[in-house]
Chains A and B, each alone.
Chain A
Amino acid sequence: MIVAERKPVSEIRDLIAPHDRVLFLGCGTCVTVCMAGGAREVSLMAAVVRMAAELGGRTGLVIEEATVERQCEILFLDPIAEQAAGYDAICSFGCGAGVQHVAARLPQTPVHPGLDTQFLGVLEGDGVWAERCAGCGSCRLAEFSGLCPIARCAKRLLNGPCGGSQVGRCEIDPALPCAWQLIYERARAVGALDRLQGVAEVQEWGKALDGGPRRVVRGDQSIADLRR
């Protein structure tokens, strides 16, 4: 899932300061399950930001709430577009993609972000989300027994570990497991140590964000060009 964290209340309050009627728009997918921008969180933040504004002497601010299934699909935004005329601005509690898609659907309405989008990750334990995928565009998980050194090694080493690996922990943070220790242990457990014998080739970073914004095209999903 895409993992995000809410912005500080003061930042959201300041973002919406120029507006009188604001819609706080949640997203029902990734940010709902990482407890950052679903209906519950939006409801809570709307109440807290309303109070923060009042405490700052602000009057007349109206914040209403709505949550759509997915902000990253335009069809789900149609009902919001119908309501948008009633608001001066929208504060989106979707990920960065959601914020931009809402803005694209509503060209005349200011759209502000309510979250800081973090990473692609997993739920590691109760209330703990951890990064697992860097979206590099050229997956090498097969070479590393299913653990990604790009997302999980602090140095992104494809030929690790480095000298900072101490008793299975990373030198940048003792709470962080050394990704290369994990790769070695898993390779041993699945009988794939031989895969680590060679030198891993350089990553093709042109397929990552370094190569510019990316796009995935599936021709079979569109019949627009077949319509008469």
Chain B
Amino acid sequence: MSDRHQGAPSTAGWDPVIVAFASHYCAYAAADLAGVLRLQCSPNVRVIRMPCTGKVESIYIVRAFEKGADGVIVAGCLEGGCHHVEGNLRARRRVERVQALLGEIGIESERLGMYDLSSAQGTRFAEIVNEMNDRVAKLGPSPLRVARQRVEPRVVAVAATKGDPP
């Protein structure tokens, strides 16, 4: 554990906030199926439907962390099965770049994950969500959340941002 975590505020009662960018044609449909199948999914995952993971700009992921997410999932179609041909491959590269950027500033890169699944894999979607939830629970709150709590214990996740990405 890094120095930043030492003396950190108690994490009792903390539930990880996880944002999932899910592609419309595969991962989002899989999430839908997981719901229809009544599969147990961690409730602390906010799913954002994207037309394709190729639409997930690096700034969307970074902004999620800046606004207080403890973990981010980018979930697209199976490689070779992207509805927009190569959007998920572009997303994979962006995820790798953002992982490096997060590492550069001291946020664990494992908090961000790229996953591929088909629309028929509702079970896999539930697994991914639970896997990320467990991983983030083990890592603890985002270092950014910890830093903010140290400054202002009541403020959990507030980011001053201006404008939307281009």
- Please indicate the chain A residues that have their CB under 8 angstroms from the CB of B162 in the complex: 64-65
**In the complex, residue of chain B having the shortest beta-carbon distance to the beta carbon of A127:** B93
In the complex, whether A62 has a CB less than 8 A from a CB of chain B is yes
Query: Shortest beta-carbon distance, B45 to chain A, in Å?
Result: 22
Q: Does A25 make an interface contact (CB < 8 A)?
A: no
Residue A43 CB within 8 A of the other chain: yes
Decide if A9 touches B66 in the complex (CB within 8 Å): no
Min CB–CB distance B62 → chain A (angstroms): 5
Q: Is the CB of B165 within 8 A of A51?
A: no
Interface string of A135-158 (1 = CB under 8 A from B): 000000000000000000000000
Q: How far is the CB of A198 from chain B (nearest CB, A)?
A: 48
Q: Is A44 in contact with chain B by the CB < 8 A criterion?
A: yes
Interface residues of B in 126-156 (CB under 8 A from A): 143-144, 147-148, 150-151
Residues in B whose Cβ lies below 8 Å from that of A39: 166
| Structural contact, A44 and B105, CB atoms closer than 8 A | no
Q: Are A55 and B161 in contact (CB under 8 A)?
A: no
Taking a contact as CB atoms under 8 Å apart, the answer to whether B165 and A43 are in contact is yes
Sample 11 A-B pairs with CB under 8 A, ordered by A number: A9-B101, A10-B104, A40-B59, A44-B62, A44-B101, A48-B104, A51-B62, A51-B66, A51-B105, A52-B104, A52-B105
In the complex, the 8 A-B pairs of residues with the closest C-beta atoms, listed nearest first: A52-B105, A39-B166, A47-B62, A43-B165, A44-B59, A47-B66, A9-B104, A43-B59
